[in-house]
Chains A and B, each alone.
Chain A
Amino acid sequence: MTSTPIQAPPQSLRRRLLARLYRHPRLQLLLLLAPPTGWFGAVYLGSLAILFVAAFWYLDPLTSAIKHDLTLRNFQTLVSNAVYRTITLRTVGIAALVTVLDALLAFPVAYYMARYARARTRTVMFILVMLPLWSSYLVRVYAWRVILGQGGPFEWTFAQIGIPDVVLYPSDLAIPIVFTYIWLPYMILPIYAGLERLPTSLLEASGDLGARPWMTFRRVVLPLVFPAVVAGSIFTFSLTLGDYITPGLVSNSQFIGNVIYDSQGVSGNVPFAAAYATVPVLIMALYLVVARRLGAFDAL
């Protein structure tokens, strides 16, 4: 048996690079994060910056060409014309209503899934919750138009119990109904995640100390799961706030998004659209600050 001397492995370029990366974990991190943050910074923050700048431009009334002079006239219009306040309040109000309704509907479902359902049932429920997301948003909104519209199941049901002419399409009432349905999965899933993390021992301890179920729910479950509810509310609130398709399809009322869309698409008034678009940005920024205070980001 002859012994061969151990040879140093050839230092290929690849090996050297890998070795350097191994010795410099910071470089590793930089390479890993540069593409996504670069993309995020340039495309997302860049667009936002352009949006804010464009809000101060204005449209030449005669030629409908955009003038790149800075002026406050878009914001003056927003403040002086009552209709934009109405639309903003309507949008925020319905977004808040949808959030509350979704939280009320989602909590029992999530609670059952997290605490009572067996593994098999839970899987089935998961699929059922996610199932609507497999179909097109538009299909679901159009389906609601049929359900709520003239001669639809909704009207029929009420007619059976002697209340005729309950037609909710087209109407403002249809907006929260449709939104509540559409965004419900986004509320169920975070609440489920929050409830699942809740240790059973805490509930048992509460019971052992004499708390009735309602007391346990109010004093133990709710405070611990509330951040998860707030996390879910970020989805339902922001998705409703930014939507313009559903209001246009089921009602005659406008959301902030409809005005932005019309300003941009119909009249080509990009500066005004940009000015109005800053309103939901500010609302969401405020919302996220409050949500953070409530611990929503720890629950995500």
Chain B
Amino acid sequence: MRRQILALAATAAVVAAACGGGGATTAPSIAATAAATPAATAAASTPPSAAASASEAASAAPSYSTGEYGTIKPLKPAVDLSKVGGPGEGSLNIIIWAGYAESGKNDPVYDWVTAFEQETGCKVNTKVGNTSDEMVSLIRQGGGATYDGVSASGDATLRLIANGDVAAIDPSTIPGFGDIAPFLQNAPHYVVNGQHYGVPHGWGGNTLLYRSDIVTPAPTSWNVVFDPTASKPYQGKITDYDSPIYIADAALYLKAHNPELGITDPYELTQDQFNAAVALLTQQHPWVGKYWSLFSDEIDNFKSGTTVVGTTWPYQYNDLKYTEKSPVGQVVPTEGMTGWADTWMMSSHAAHPNCMLKWMAWMITPEVQTEVAEYFGEAPANPKACKYLDATYGDYGLKNFCQDYGVNDPNFYNSIAFWRTPLADCGDSRGQTCVDYSAWTQAWTTIKG
């Protein structure tokens, strides 16, 4: 039994490492690879209209130039936190995706916690959540008073709002909120009935990864994983993300290819639309070589050729291409793609609400956004960070970061269907006719059989 427990713990650790992708990838090395590979991110940031040429990125040599490694001190945000909320309560307990609150312990260059503590007197205590669902249950602990806030991904936010776990905030009290990318300022994954339940943190997309030596010509559409004919050569070697939220990827494909279903949003599916997406995935099931839930598994399987085409986070592509030197390509298919956008939310029973508000204001400053975006290799929510990012700020710096990550490219971010909790309420005139997340979970079990 003990060995089982050990194995379990080990798995948990692996999962912990992997699940950064729910919100973002985790370790410095991850950000290092992500940031040091502009060709990779260029592919990811290519708007759908130009997707056909995006595959060129796969063969393009990395032509990055970096800043002076490690020579730049942490940036000092110019924000007066004393005016945000009331006086600080002396401490702040937050649930984070690993690496969302760096205090310079992993890399002295990346430290946005120490200065925050000095500025506000709020001592920051962090608890890493490994999955969106773990975060949901953590924030509910102690009647909601154990933790003050959470960096929630879009597949968790609406659940928290619907259950009253998180509090609405007044964005006008957060300095610099107006600098947030316009498409995020009123995004439906955290703004409900005109109320803002937090501040955006950063975002990225789930691209299509393929073995460029096997999958030829380079794919431009998700049909290489979903269409019976187009996927024919790769059947048995297709990979899917092993999570109920992947049903949205099938819905996104059907939205483009079966217009008669009338899918408007892959997270707001009526029973018929949902059934069609589930049927597509059920039909596809025998062709799937291996579902992946750990990013390391996907890397192994692409390296060995066990799987050759399927959805990915940009991190796996970067690692395969630049660390493993595997022949892989990455593309944003013409149908668009799903993605994540993370939001800092405050518990409605927070014991230290002022410290949490100050933290939100701190996290969206261009300076902190710069450090976060570089450390992860994800797009910052505040495009003003580009001033530093494009000047290759730190150890993981990368020239033209914001262009490569599509930060200011409306075509790119409009092509992303950001993760959102599917609810029974469709959010439009269809009313309470949509399929909720618990049904998504059970359907996922059924699909895998």
Partners in one complex: yes
Residues of B within 8 A of A242 (CB): 4
* A267: chain B residues within 8 A (beta carbon): 133, 244, 437-438, 440-441
Instruction: Say whether B438 contacts A151, CB under 8 Å.
Output: no
Choice from B10, B288, B289 contacting A136 with Cβ under 8 Å: B10
Distance between A108 CB and nearest chain B CB, rounded to angstroms: 25
Known contacts A136-B6, A245-B8: A83-B162 contact under CB 8 Å:
no
In the bound assembly, the distance between CA atoms of A225 and B95 in angstroms comes to 56
- Chain B residues with CB under 8 Å of A268's CB are 133, 136-137
Q: For residue B300, give the distance in angstroms from its CB to the closest CB of chain A.
A: 8
Mark interface residues in B225-251 (1 if CB within 8 Å of A CB, else 0): 000000000000000000110000000
Interface size on A, residues (CB 8 A): 40
Q: Chain A contacts of B446 at CB under 8 A?
A: 81, 83
> Known interface pairs A150-B306, A265-B133, A266-B243. Does A61 touch B424 (Cβ–Cβ under 8 Å)?
yes
With A61-B438, A65-B163, A268-B136 already in contact, the answer to whether A151 and B305 are too (CB < 8 A) is yes
Q: Taking CB as reference atom, which chain A residue is nearest B289?
A: A170
Known: A83-B445, A269-B441. A62 touches B6 (CB 8 A): no
Residues from 100 to 117 in A contacting B, C-beta threshold 8 Å: none
Number of A-B contacts (CB under 8 A): 99
The contact of B244 among A243, A252, A254, A266, by CB within 8 Å, is A266
Decide if A137 touches B305 in the complex (CB within 8 Å): no
In chain A, residues 132-169, which have Cβ atoms closer than 8 Å to a Cβ of chain B? 133, 136-138, 145, 149-151, 167, 169
**Contacting residues, chain B, for A62 (C-beta < 8 A):** 162, 423-425, 436
Which chain A residues lie closer than 8 Å to B140 at the CB level?
Answer: 65
Q: A136-B10, A170-B290 are in contact. Are A86 and B438 (CB under 8 A)?
A: no
Quick check: is A28 within 8 A (CB to CB) of the other chain?
A: no
Residues on B with beta carbons closer than 8 Å to the beta carbon of A88:
none
When distances are taken between beta carbons in the complex, the residues of chain B under 8 Å from A59 are 438
B322 close to chain A: CB less than 8 A: no
Q: Is the C-beta of A63 less than 8 angstroms from some C-beta in chain B?
A: yes
Q: Which of A68-122 contact B (CB under 8 A)?
A: 77, 81, 83-84, 86-87
Q: B449 at the A/B interface (Cβ < 8 Å)?
A: yes
| Closest Cβ neighbor of B159 among chain A residues | A64
- In the complex, A262 has a CB within 8 A of chain B: yes
Contacts of A167 in B (CB 8 A): 306
Are B442's CB and A77's CB within 8 A? yes
B258 at the interface (CB under 8 A from A): no
Contact of B7 among A138, A149, A253 (CB under 8 A): A138
A263 lies within 8 A of chain B by Cβ: yes
Q: Is there contact, CB below 8 Å, between B290 and A63?
A: no
Closest to A152 in B: B304
Whether B445 lies near A63 (C-beta < 8 A) is no
Which residues of chain B come closer than 8 Å to A253, judged between CB atoms?
448-449
A259 contacts partner chain B, Cβ-Cβ < 8 Å: yes
Q: Is B439 in contact with chain A by the CB < 8 A criterion? A: yes
B393 at the interface (CB under 8 A from A): no
Q: Which residue of A lies closest to B245 (CB)?
A: A266
How many Å lie between the Cα of A267 and that of B131 in the bound state?
10
Interface residues on B, range: 35 or more
Residues of A within 8 A of B290 (CB): 170, 252
Q: How far is the CB of B33 from chain A (nearest CB, A)?
A: 22
Question: How far does the Cβ of A263 sit from chain B's closest Cβ, in whole Å?
Answer: 7
Residue in contact with A265 in the complex, picked from B131, B437, B449, CB distance below 8 Å: B131
| A22 nearest CB across to chain B (Å) | 36
- Whether the Cβ atoms of A64 and B438 lie closer than 8 Å is yes
B444 on the interface (CB 8 Å rule)?
Answer: yes
CA distance A245 to B293 in the complex (A): 12
A252 in contact with B305 (CB, 8 Å): no
Whether a CB of chain A sits under 8 angstroms from the CB of B119 is: no
CB within 8 Å of B: which A21-41 residues: none
Provide the residues of chain B in CB contact with A249, threshold 8 Å: 297
On whether the beta carbons of B449 and A262 are closer than 8 Å, the reply is no
Cα–Cα distance between A263 and B134 once the two chains are bound (Å): 12
Cβ contacts under 8 Å, A266 to chain B = 131, 133, 243-244, 441
Q: How far is the CA of A125 from the CA of B300 in the complex (A)?
A: 35
Residues on B with beta carbons closer than 8 Å to the beta carbon of A248: 293
In the complex, per-residue mask of A238-258: 1 if CB is within 8 Å of any chain B CB, else 0: 010011010011001110000
What chain A residues lie within 8 Å of B133 (beta carbons)? 265-268
On whether the beta carbons of A61 and B436 are closer than 8 Å, the reply is: yes
State the Cβ distance, A140 to closest chain B Cβ, in Å: 10
Instruction: Determine the chain A residues whose CB is within 8 A of the CB of B439 once the complex forms.
Output: 61
Minimal Cβ-Cβ distance residue in B for A139: B10
List the A side residues contacting B441 at CB < 8 Å.
262-263, 266-267, 269
Which residues of B123-146 have CB atoms within 8 Å of chain A's CB atoms? 131, 133-134, 136-137, 140
Residues from chain A with Cβ under 8 Å of B436 in the complex: 61-62
Per CB-CB distance, the 8 closest pairs between chain A and chain B, nearest first, are A267-B441, A63-B163, A137-B7, A61-B436, A83-B446, A170-B290, A63-B162, A268-B133
What are some 21 contacts across the A-B interface (CB < 8 A)?
A62-B425, A64-B437, A65-B163, A86-B449, A137-B7, A138-B10, A150-B305, A151-B304, A169-B306, A170-B290, A252-B285, A252-B288, A253-B449, A254-B445, A254-B448, A265-B131, A265-B134, A266-B441, A267-B244, A268-B137, A269-B441
A positions within 8 Å CB-CB of B: 59, 61-65, 77, 81, 83-84, 86-87, 133, 136-138, 145, 149-151, 167, 169-170, 239, 242-243, 245, 248-249, 252-254, 259, 262-263, 265-269
Q: A62-B162, A64-B163, A243-B4 are in contact. List 4 more A-B contacts (CB 8 A).
A: A137-B7, A170-B306, A248-B293, A262-B444
